[in-house]
Amino acid sequence: MNQFRPTGYKSLPEIIKNLLIINALMFFAQNTFGGPTSTFNFEDIFALHAFQSDLFKPWQLITHMFLHGDLGHIFGNMLALWMFGSILENIWGPKQFLLFYFLCGVGAALIHLGILSIELMNATKYYHELITSGATQTDYAIEFMSRYKARVDVATLGASGAVFGILIAFVYLFPNTYIYLYFFIPIKAKWLGILYFSYELFFALRNSAGDNVARWAHVGGAVVGFILVYIWKRNNRRF
């Protein structure tokens, strides 16, 4: 398949519709019941936390996909989910699409947590180096707390990992389909996919201190999505 021709398909298939509704309801609940004075903290319970954090719970590998940071965050993810996911659900059917969505989301989360664990291990190594270098307790405590504790309890949330998997699947299946950036700039899907993935990979490797975007979750979702769609296409699964 090189180009998608949008004829004879549902513009809002069942799984996409329900994902949009659930995400919207969770966003509403976050902003209505989860304020700073609330006794129920949505992010502590449902957002994704590092394995090393006391806040980590296994269900967060899935629940973090239904939380978002702000209106722009949820709007961008849900728009991309509808634009590209609707096409894939029409091709694959609801069960296969839902499986793909969650595998990409969970895979992205595991890759993100793996990279985060490496970063935290390096911080711990730095902590021991400070001790053996003869630094005072205050010196190494301050340095360690700034490098370790600031990272270990940071919450990661959003459907971006799963959405990146969907985007890459669409790019792989329909590389020559035109996508209109900002609704009027045409670009082929393959070039958009390459540019967007390269952008995320560059900033993931750069690892800037002020960057609060989970770049490795984006990269991970794209990688998992590509592997899945490549295997499924080779096996002629719903293609």
- Give me the average pLDDT of each 10-residue run along the chain (239 residues): 57 94 94 69 90 91 94 94 95 95 96 88 64 58 60 86 96 92 83 91 77 85 96 77
pLDDT at 106 (0 to 100) = 97
Domains belonging to the chain, first-starting first, are: 14-234 (1.20.1540.10)
Other beta carbons less than 10 A from residue 107's beta carbon: 23
User: Residue 46 and residue 174: Cα distance in Å, rounded?
Assistant: 35
Which conformational region is residue 158 in: left (phi greater than 0), alpha (psi within -120 to 50 degrees), or beta? left
Task: Give the HSE-up count for residue 126: Cα atoms under 13 Å, Cβ half-sphere.
Answer: 16
- The whole-number pLDDT of residue 41 equals 82
Phi and psi at 32, nearest 5°, equal -100, -40
Cβ atoms within 10 A of the Cβ of 238, count? 12
Burial (Cβ within 10 Å: 0-12, 13-18, ≥19) of residue 147? middle
Spacing of C-alpha 100 from chain mean position? 14
- Which residues have C-beta within 8 Å of that of residue 82, sequence separation ≥ 6? 12, 16, 20
